[in-house]
Amino acid sequence: MREKVMKALHQTGEKSEAKDSIDIGLCVLDCESNRLQYSGANRPLLRIRNGEISEFRPDKMSIGLAPVHEHPFTNVVIDTRPDDIYYLYTDGFSDQFGELTDKKFKHKQLKKVIESVAGLPLNRQKEYLEDTFYDWKGNSQQIDDVLVFGFRI
Protein backbone atom coordinates (compact mmCIF):
# COMPACT_ATOMS: atom_id res chain seq x y z
CA MET A 1 0.00 0.00 0.00
CA ARG A 2 2.86 2.36 0.84
CA GLU A 3 4.34 1.92 -2.64
CA LYS A 4 0.97 2.55 -4.31
CA VAL A 5 0.43 5.75 -2.29
CA MET A 6 3.92 6.95 -3.17
CA LYS A 7 3.26 6.22 -6.85
CA ALA A 8 -0.13 7.99 -6.76
CA LEU A 9 1.50 11.06 -5.15
CA HIS A 10 4.43 10.90 -7.58
CA GLN A 11 6.91 10.58 -4.70
CA THR A 12 10.46 9.55 -5.54
CA GLY A 13 12.24 10.21 -2.27
CA GLU A 14 13.79 13.53 -3.23
CA LYS A 15 14.30 15.76 -0.19
CA SER A 16 12.70 18.77 -1.89
CA GLU A 17 9.33 17.11 -2.61
CA ALA A 18 6.24 17.18 -0.42
CA LYS A 19 6.07 14.62 2.36
CA ASP A 20 2.37 13.86 1.86
CA SER A 21 1.19 10.69 3.54
CA ILE A 22 -1.90 8.92 4.89
CA ASP A 23 -2.75 7.96 8.46
CA ILE A 24 -5.11 4.99 8.54
CA GLY A 25 -6.38 2.16 10.70
CA LEU A 26 -7.30 -0.99 8.82
CA CYS A 27 -9.29 -3.99 10.07
CA VAL A 28 -10.04 -7.34 8.47
CA LEU A 29 -12.66 -9.51 10.17
CA ASP A 30 -12.65 -13.28 9.72
CA CYS A 31 -16.15 -14.37 10.74
CA GLU A 32 -15.23 -18.07 10.66
CA SER A 33 -12.39 -17.82 13.17
CA ASN A 34 -13.88 -14.84 15.09
CA ARG A 35 -10.61 -12.98 14.68
CA LEU A 36 -10.00 -9.42 13.67
CA GLN A 37 -6.69 -8.27 12.21
CA TYR A 38 -5.71 -4.64 12.81
CA SER A 39 -2.87 -2.55 11.53
CA GLY A 40 -2.56 1.16 12.15
CA ALA A 41 -0.58 3.97 10.60
CA ASN A 42 -0.84 6.64 13.33
CA ARG A 43 -4.51 5.72 13.91
CA PRO A 44 -5.47 3.53 16.89
CA LEU A 45 -8.29 1.02 17.24
CA LEU A 46 -10.57 1.15 20.27
CA ARG A 47 -12.55 -1.81 21.56
CA ILE A 48 -15.35 -1.79 24.10
CA ARG A 49 -15.87 -5.19 25.72
CA ASN A 50 -18.20 -5.60 28.69
CA GLY A 51 -18.20 -1.84 29.19
CA GLU A 52 -14.39 -1.56 29.34
CA ILE A 53 -12.29 0.23 26.77
CA SER A 54 -9.06 -1.14 25.28
CA GLU A 55 -6.80 0.71 22.89
CA PHE A 56 -4.71 -1.02 20.25
CA ARG A 57 -1.89 1.34 19.47
CA PRO A 58 -0.80 2.08 15.93
CA ASP A 59 2.67 2.15 14.48
CA LYS A 60 4.06 5.69 14.64
CA MET A 61 4.45 6.12 10.91
CA SER A 62 2.29 7.05 7.95
CA ILE A 63 1.69 5.39 4.61
CA GLY A 64 3.60 7.19 1.88
CA LEU A 65 6.92 8.94 1.94
CA ALA A 66 8.07 9.70 5.45
CA PRO A 67 11.20 11.58 6.56
CA VAL A 68 12.42 8.70 8.75
CA HIS A 69 13.42 5.12 8.01
CA GLU A 70 10.35 3.04 7.22
CA HIS A 71 9.57 -0.36 8.76
CA PRO A 72 6.83 -2.92 8.06
CA PHE A 73 3.57 -2.28 9.86
CA THR A 74 2.55 -4.43 12.83
CA ASN A 75 -0.37 -6.81 12.31
CA VAL A 76 -2.35 -7.38 15.52
CA VAL A 77 -4.67 -10.40 15.69
CA ILE A 78 -7.57 -9.95 18.11
CA ASP A 79 -9.99 -12.66 19.25
CA THR A 80 -13.48 -11.16 19.05
CA ARG A 81 -16.51 -11.86 21.18
CA PRO A 82 -20.20 -11.22 20.57
CA ASP A 83 -21.17 -7.61 21.39
CA ASP A 84 -17.60 -6.27 21.09
CA ILE A 85 -17.68 -2.77 19.60
CA TYR A 86 -14.71 -1.41 17.65
CA TYR A 87 -13.95 2.17 16.64
CA LEU A 88 -11.61 3.66 14.07
CA TYR A 89 -11.41 7.43 13.62
CA THR A 90 -9.51 10.25 12.01
CA ASP A 91 -7.69 12.86 14.04
CA GLY A 92 -10.16 15.55 13.00
CA PHE A 93 -12.41 15.21 16.06
CA SER A 94 -9.63 15.31 18.66
CA ASP A 95 -7.71 18.08 16.84
CA GLN A 96 -10.75 20.37 16.59
CA PHE A 97 -10.46 23.65 18.48
CA GLY A 98 -13.37 24.63 20.69
CA GLU A 99 -15.01 28.03 20.32
CA LEU A 100 -15.12 28.67 24.07
CA THR A 101 -11.68 27.36 25.01
CA ASP A 102 -9.63 27.76 21.81
CA LYS A 103 -8.08 24.40 22.77
CA LYS A 104 -8.15 21.03 21.04
CA PHE A 105 -10.73 18.42 22.02
CA LYS A 106 -7.89 15.84 22.47
CA HIS A 107 -7.68 12.07 22.04
CA LYS A 108 -8.15 11.28 25.74
CA GLN A 109 -11.43 13.20 25.87
CA LEU A 110 -12.68 11.49 22.69
CA LYS A 111 -11.94 8.08 24.23
CA LYS A 112 -13.99 9.03 27.29
CA VAL A 113 -16.93 10.12 25.14
CA ILE A 114 -16.81 6.89 23.12
CA GLU A 115 -16.63 4.83 26.29
CA SER A 116 -19.59 6.69 27.78
CA VAL A 117 -21.87 6.04 24.79
CA ALA A 118 -20.80 2.47 23.96
CA GLY A 119 -23.89 0.95 25.59
CA LEU A 120 -26.25 2.88 23.32
CA PRO A 121 -27.46 1.67 19.91
CA LEU A 122 -25.03 2.71 17.17
CA ASN A 123 -27.44 5.29 15.67
CA ARG A 124 -27.73 7.01 19.08
CA GLN A 125 -23.95 6.94 19.45
CA LYS A 126 -23.68 8.73 16.11
CA GLU A 127 -26.12 11.43 17.21
CA TYR A 128 -24.32 11.94 20.53
CA LEU A 129 -20.89 12.16 18.88
CA GLU A 130 -22.19 14.66 16.31
CA ASP A 131 -23.81 16.79 19.00
CA THR A 132 -20.65 16.69 21.10
CA PHE A 133 -18.48 17.71 18.16
CA TYR A 134 -20.68 20.62 17.07
CA ASP A 135 -21.21 21.82 20.65
CA TRP A 136 -17.42 21.83 21.14
CA LYS A 137 -16.64 23.44 17.79
CA GLY A 138 -19.31 26.12 18.12
CA ASN A 139 -18.65 28.82 15.53
CA SER A 140 -14.98 27.90 15.17
CA GLN A 141 -13.86 26.86 11.72
CA GLN A 142 -13.66 23.09 11.20
CA ILE A 143 -9.97 22.38 10.69
CA ASP A 144 -9.97 18.84 9.29
CA ASP A 145 -12.09 15.95 8.11
CA VAL A 146 -13.94 14.11 10.88
CA LEU A 147 -14.82 10.43 10.78
CA VAL A 148 -15.68 8.08 13.62
CA PHE A 149 -16.45 4.56 12.39
CA GLY A 150 -17.89 2.07 14.85
CA PHE A 151 -19.00 -1.50 14.33
CA ARG A 152 -20.42 -4.17 16.59
CA ILE A 153 -19.54 -7.88 16.34
Q: What is the mean pLDDT of residues 139-152?
A: 95
> What digits encode the pLDDT tens for the residues 104-137?
999 999 999 999 999 999 999 999 999 999 999 9
Q: Determine how many CB atoms are found less than 10 A away from the CB of residue 6.
A: 18
Asked if 100 and 133 count as a contact pair (C-beta separation under 8 A), the reply is no
Residue-wise pLDDT tens digits, 60-96: 988 776 545 667 889 999 999 999 999 999 999 999 9
pLDDT of 105: 97
Nearest to 90 by CA among 5, 25, 33: 25
The CATH number of whichever domain residue 133 belongs to comes to 3.60.40.10
What are the phi and psi torsion angles at 116 (to 5°)? -70, -25
pLDDT on residue 53? 96
C-alpha 74/C-alpha 71 separation (Å) is 9
Predicted confidence at residue 64, as pLDDT, reads 73
pLDDT of residue 72: 83
Query: Structurally, how many domains does the chain consist of?
Result: 1
Per residue in 89-111, pLDDT (tens digit) is: 999 999 999 999 999 999 999 99
Q: Which residue range is the domain that position 54 belongs to?
A: 2-13+20-152
pLDDT in tens, 17-55: 566 678 899 999 999 999 999 999 999 999 999 999 999
CA distance 44 to 41: 8
